[in-house]
Amino acid sequence: MRTMGAKRGAVTLEEVAREAGVSLATASRAINGSARTVRPEIRERVERAARALNYTANAQAQAVARGRTNLVGLVVQDIEDPYFSSIAAGAMRVAEANGLMVSIAGTGRRPDKEIEYAAALRGLRAAAIVIAGSRTDDRDALERLGAELDAFERSGGRVALIGQRRLPVDTVVVANRAGARDLATRLTGLGYRSFGVLAGPRNLLTATDRLAGFTEGMAGAGITLPPDMIVHGEFNRDGGHDAMLELLARRRDVECVFAVNDVMAVGALAALRSRGLDRRVAVAGFDDIATLRDIVPALTTVRLPLARIGAAALEMVLREPAEGPHRRLVVRGEVVLRESTPGVRRG
Amino acid sequence: MRTMGAKRGAVTLEEVAREAGVSLATASRAINGSARTVRPEIRERVERAARALNYTANAQAQAVARGRTNLVGLVVQDIEDPYFSSIAAGAMRVAEANGLMVSIAGTGRRPDKEIEYAAALRGLRAAAIVIAGSRTDDRDALERLGAELDAFERSGGRVALIGQRRLPVDTVVVANRAGARDLATRLTGLGYRSFGVLAGPRNLLTATDRLAGFTEGMAGAGITLPPDMIVHGEFNRDGGHDAMLELLARRRDVECVFAVNDVMAVGALAALRSRGLDRRVAVAGFDDIATLRDIVPALTTVRLPLARIGAAALEMVLREPAEGPHRRLVVRGEVVLRESTPGVRRG
DNA sequence: AATCACATGGAAAGCGCTTTCCGTAGAGGC
DNA sequence: GCCTCTACGGAAAGCGCTTTCCATGTGATT
């Protein structure tokens, strides 16, 4: 581990106190907020000295002395993914409103990294940890993460998860299953009968939940998804693209394709276009990524209020801990039908 | 300012030492890395005790004792903007490789916030600050930011800027002007003669540089941009959309539109589509945002290696400080011609 | 056997703050 | 004029670490 920077040399409170001709204690009380008050003229003198010396309190030292910090950790899979950057934006908004600093870490979808960062944040004595997207079904990793978060909570920190409902902590649950079910219902309502699913990784809960929900919704309309209409692949644009090509190779008769997220849907559209099949095969996604709202054809999807989800997680973590069981806030997406699924004109 | 969390209660090194039956000093040397070594069997005993108690060193206390941290601050305008999230991803990659934690703050394009966060990071005794996107021409704000960064550097921290070359610190300069000039040259080469520019905010340097470069490039082809072909507006999708409509209202004879970033270009395309003019008016953007590479028509743009830019800034900050003048790394974009500017077929 | 150099463990002094505890002075009550 | 109370400044004791400075034991050297 490489460390560096900030060698001794910053102005300390002691220098400020000396400059102002008061004691260290008084300077602390005057500047850095305290229950005790200081006579106005003295406070003024200290403030002037601080300004003159360009003093900024050492947050680390304050943290050590006070026993708490104003740092919250946000762990996401990939900050470059608009899904996560929107969540981060929402969380940062709330953090800023509460005077908290946010430390963001990206796991690159490796569950180990989540544990590692959780431990690092425990070391930093972060006030809270929010983890977005821990969703593998790796039993062992999940258990170790649970243990780490437990230790974090026992040492006084607060924890919230986004989209993961498998650990006993406060959670903003994204109703992936229900959303996908609703989507399937609407799509069958449009007359589609032959579906394919670009299903993402097998071990990613978000992906498997959406697949499961979609299957349920189809079942509600009396349709069964043939196994060869499900193609697994990566959870990103290229994954959608490649899975779409694979699906086309297997079956040319698919009417409507559900990609388990918008980014994959975009890849699928590109693949269809390359085969001259766009506008012939309907495509639906999930998330309603803002940046993607202008693509053509406009993408049918399930809208998730991502920034609100991030904000909600942070608010959850800021509230007093519940004394009972852990809270959960369920966020349900809303189906948005657009041009990419125009409906079936049979005849 | 609201603070919370991590009350006393975490396991301390002293408890570990007691458990292992050694002194505090020995425990510290055994666990937390030091120049001094400890006999293997004792180290083993301490490690076992630490594991048994689930000990994690208090990073704040270490920071105050050591006088340095492994925290770097990254200040961006808006993490939700793919431009910044890509930069952040690149920076985080390098940070992780060097065992550094990254704290990200979003300014929402308010220059004051930059100063505020820089001060906060000085308080945290961050090892380094990277600021992406400080680019207003607000003299006063710039000066105060300069003063704050100066104080930060004097107290031992390191600073790098991205895209801003107006302050005497290490900078990754994005050659906006040159890129836009190249783009104009290529577009005139395609036969376009009548141009419009969706120019973004008047006080945003990135935007004005791109406008200036584009104008220069056109001048190189003997074309002058009429003032009413320049429409200012917001630097986002809606800004591009509205500016495009405004431009169309002013002049219907525009052949090719340069939006000063990709997101605006997407808005412009949407506006053109709503008027049935897509494919009739050419559109070019800037940045080559990854998520937008599949839009139709594929967008001509200037590719910026955003993740590399973020990574480069962090690497700059990790290297030993230069003893001479401040470093600058110039990153020049590369024009990518795509379908959105098919060229002119004059009848 | 005496000397020296290390290697290694522990005591204690910081690091830059906050906060408790104490002392003093002035205000108010009688 | 004496007593109590309150307000407020300062000394000093932490907070959880690292690191300097000692003290001790060991093996090598003569």
**pLDDT per position as a tens digit, B301-347:** 999 999 999 999 999 999 877 667 889 999 999 999 999 999 887 55
Q: Which of B199, B221, B198 is nearest to B209 (CA)?
A: B199
Nucleotide D12's nearest residue (CA vs C1') is: A25
Residues 56-85 of B with CB under 7 A from strand C: 61, 64-65, 67
Task: Determine the pLDDT at residue B3.
Answer: 35
Indicate the average pLDDT of chain B. 91
**Tokens 């026993």, located at residue:** A67
Q: Report CB contact under 8 Å: A58, B125.
A: yes
What would the pLDDT profile of B114-145 be if each residue is shown by its tens digit? 999 999 999 999 999 999 986 777 788 889 99
> B53 to chain A nearest CA, in Å?
10
B75 touches chain A (CB under 8 A): no
Task: Determine the pLDDT at residue B325.
Answer: 80
Least confident of A239-248, B234-243, B313-322: B313-322
Nearest by CB to residue B127, choosing from A5, A86, A318, is A5
- Report how far residue A304's alpha carbon sits from residue A179's, in angstroms, rounded to the nearest whole number: 9
Q: Where are the alpha helices (DSSP H) in chain B?
A: 13-20, 24-31, 40-53, 59-66, 82-97, 111-123, 139-154, 176-189, 205-220, 237-250, 262-274, 306-318
What's the pTM value of the predicted model, to 2 decimals?
A: 0.91
Q: How many CB atoms lie within 10 A of CB A19?
A: 18
Interface test with B, best of A85, A94, A150, A274 (most B CBs within 10 A): A85
Backbone phi, then psi, for A159, in 5-degree steps? Answer: -135, 140
> B308 to chain A nearest CA, in Å?
13
B contacts of A54 (beta carbons < 8 Å): 151
B contacts of A67 (beta carbons < 8 Å): 6-8
Q: Report CB contact under 8 Å: B9, A155.
A: yes
Q: Which of B157, B116, B152 is nearest to B317 (CA)?
A: B157
Q: Report CB contact under 8 Å: B6, A68.
A: yes
What would the pLDDT profile of A65-95 be if each residue is shown by its tens digit? 988 899 999 999 999 999 999 999 999 999 9
Task: Determine the pLDDT at residue A346.
Answer: 58
Q: Which nucleotide is nearest to B40 (CA to C1')?
A: C8
Q: Which nucleotide is nearest to A27 (CA to C1')?
A: D9
Identify the burial level of B199 via C-beta atoms within 10 angstroms of its C-beta, where 0-12 means exposed, 13-18 middle and 19 or more buried.
buried
Whether the CB-CB separation of B85 and A79 falls below 8 Å is answered with: yes
Amino acid at position A5, single letter: G
Task: Determine the pLDDT at residue A18.
Answer: 93
Higher pLDDT, B290 or B325: B290
Nucleotide C8's nearest residue (CA vs C1') is: B38
Task: Determine the pLDDT at residue B49.
Answer: 94
Whether the CB-CB separation of B113 and B336 falls below 8 Å is answered with: no
Residue A261: is its pLDDT beyond 80?
A: yes
Q: Report CB contact under 8 Å: B80, A307.
A: yes
Residues ≥6 apart with Cβ < 8 Å to A116: none
Query: Alpha carbon of B183 to those of B179, B265, B318, B336, B347: distances in Å?
Result: 6, 14, 34, 9, 25
Strands (E), chain A: 71-76, 101-106, 128-132, 158-162, 170-174, 195-200, 230-232, 256-259, 282-284, 301-303, 328-331, 334-336
What would the pLDDT profile of B6-18 be if each residue is shown by its tens digit? 345 789 999 999 9
Once rounded to an integer, what is the mean pLDDT over residues B162-173?
87
Query: Alpha carbon of A190 to those of A183, A278, B289: distances in Å?
Result: 11, 18, 34
What would the pLDDT profile of A305-330 be if each residue is shown by its tens digit? 999 999 999 999 998 776 678 899 99
Question: pLDDT band at residue B104, thresholds of 50, 70 and 90?
Answer: very high
B contacts of A59 (beta carbons < 8 Å): 120, 123-125
A140 touches chain B (CB under 8 A): no
Residue A13: is its pLDDT beyond 90?
A: yes
A334 touches chain B (CB under 8 A): no
| Whole-number percent of chain A with pLDDT over 90 | 78
Once rounded to an integer, what is the mean pLDDT over residues B156-167?
87
Q: How many CB atoms lie within 10 A of CB A145?
A: 24
Residue B246: is its pLDDT beyond 50?
A: yes
Residues ≥6 apart with Cβ < 8 Å to A189: A221
Tokens at A104, concatenated: 């963001």
Q: How far is the CA of B155 from the C1' of C9 (A)?
A: 35
Once rounded to an integer, what is the mean pLDDT over residues A275-290?
95
| Whole-number percent of chain A with pLDDT over 70 | 95
Mutual angle of helices B176-189 and B205-220, in 10-degree steps: 40
Residue A4: is its pLDDT beyond 50?
A: no
Q: Which nucleotide is nearest to A65 (CA to C1')?
A: D15
Task: Determine the pLDDT at residue B281.
Answer: 96
Question: pLDDT band at residue A2, thresholds of 50, 70 and 90?
Answer: very low
Task: Determine the pLDDT at residue B8.
Answer: 59
B119 touches chain A (CB under 8 A): yes
Task: Determine the pLDDT at residue A7.
Answer: 46
For residue A195, what are the β-bridge partners?
A256
Indicate the average pLDDT of chain A. 91
Task: Determine the pLDDT at residue A67.
Answer: 86
Task: Determine the pLDDT at residue A33.
Answer: 75
For residue B14, what are the β-bridge partners?
none
Nucleotide C20's nearest residue (CA vs C1') is: A25
Query: Alpha carbon of A47 to those of A25, A38, A59, B316: distances in Å?
Result: 14, 12, 18, 36
> B223 to chain A nearest CA, in Å?
32
Task: Determine the pLDDT at residue B2.
Answer: 34
Enumerate long-range contacts of A93-96, CB under 8 Å, 24 or more apart: A93/A307, A93/A311, A93/B106, A94/A310, A94/A311, A94/A314, A94/A315, A94/A318, A95/A314, A96/B105, A96/B106
Nearest by CB to residue B89, choosing from A4, A79, A119, is A79
Identify the burial level of B249 via C-beta atoms within 10 angstroms of its C-beta, where 0-12 means exposed, 13-18 middle and 19 or more buried.
exposed
Task: Determine the pLDDT at residue A134.
Answer: 61
Nucleotide D13's nearest residue (CA vs C1') is: A65
Question: pLDDT band at residue A333, thresholds of 50, 70 and 90?
Answer: very high
Task: Determine the pLDDT at residue A322.
Answer: 65
Rg, chain B, Cα only:
26
Interface test with A, best of B93, B294, B317 (most A CBs within 10 A): B294
- Which DSSP category does B70 fall into? -
Amino acid at position A240, single letter: G
Task: Determine the pLDDT at residue B110.
Answer: 86
Task: Determine the pLDDT at residue A8.
Answer: 59
Q: Are strands A195-200 and A170-174 parallel, antiparallel or unpaired?
A: unpaired
Sheet holding A101-106, edge to edge: A328-331, A170-174, A158-162, A128-132, A71-76, A101-106, B101-106, B71-76, B128-132, B158-162, B170-174, B328-331
B contacts of A69 (beta carbons < 8 Å): 3, 5-6, 60
